Amino acid sequence: MKLAVNYSPQAFDLLKSGLIKFDLFKSPNWKDMVADAGRLLPVYVHFDLSVGDGRLSKVDWIEVEDFLSATGTQTVNVHVVAPPELNPCIGAQLDQLSDTIIEEVLSVCKRFGPDHVIAENVPLPASGKEYLRPVALPPFFQRLVTETGCGMLLDLAHAAITAKTLHTDPLQFFSEFPLRRLKEIHITGLGLHEGEIHDHMEMRDQDWTLFESAIDQIKIGNWRTPEIIAFEYGGTGAPFVWRSESRVLLHQVPRLYDLVHYGDSKNAS
């Protein structure tokens, strides 16, 4: 497993100074950011691609292929979403959405190969966005990976938000996703901001407990060992200006690195 960290000026400076270490920068498909991050570490690209909302037909696939070639990124990720006008109580709409998502993921798999495509779960918040419920739950991902052959990108923070909305145990909820096809994990803390629960926050005790439990499941073989575990704290621009602190990275990245590389000292001996 490799530990990736969101590119941010703070992470870049700490890494350059030797105060933290990790394996990869995680970057959106932004050429300038990829180039800047690549001056210090290999970069993998997390694409702004979605299925289920009609946007896939507008993707510039040549650009996607250029990013894959330039960075050596091994997978193309898609976010599984639903259109806001979806009524989750109407079965015919649900069937049509499911078929559309599967068809769209199959088209991406046809282009890149199913082993190089991963589907990410979105969060289901407690207030609003009820239209996301059908595609935020594990049964849909079980069907998706079975019918397309794609892999699973399990965002633990997203799943924890959904579990909280459903009033269910998050660890049990995690285990219901198709973890036999797990390729990547995203992890951040959760916290309140302006009255709403948000991810991309610093890790708190409950977040560490969930992540350590996930690592334990990987260790004992209940979950497939993913290639990448990405810490999605920090970034650039207005969405991250209040949650991209050097203090957090300095204290949390080393702990994450030790958890992700738990077998290194054993293998070295």
User: 125-139 pLDDT, tens per residue?
Assistant: 988 899 999 999 999
For residue 164, what are the contacts with CB-CB under 8 A and spacing of at least 6? 126, 170, 197
Residue 269's pLDDT band, with cuts at 50, 70 and 90, is very low
> How high is the pLDDT of residue 218?
97
The total domain count for the chain is 1
> Which domain CATH number covers 47?
3.20.20.150
Residue 265's pLDDT band, with cuts at 50, 70 and 90, is low
Residue 268 domain-assigned (yes or no): no
> How high is the pLDDT of residue 132?
95
Residue 269 domain-assigned (yes or no): no
Query: What does the DSSP 8-state code read for residue 181?
Result: G
Residue 267 domain-assigned (yes or no): no
pTM above 0.85, yes or no: yes
Residue 212 domain-assigned (yes or no): yes
Query: What does the DSSP 8-state code read for residue 132?
Result: G
Residue 192 domain-assigned (yes or no): yes
Amino acid at 27: S
Do 41 and 12 form a contact (C-beta atoms < 8 A)? Answer: no
> Residue 8 belongs to what domain range?
2-262
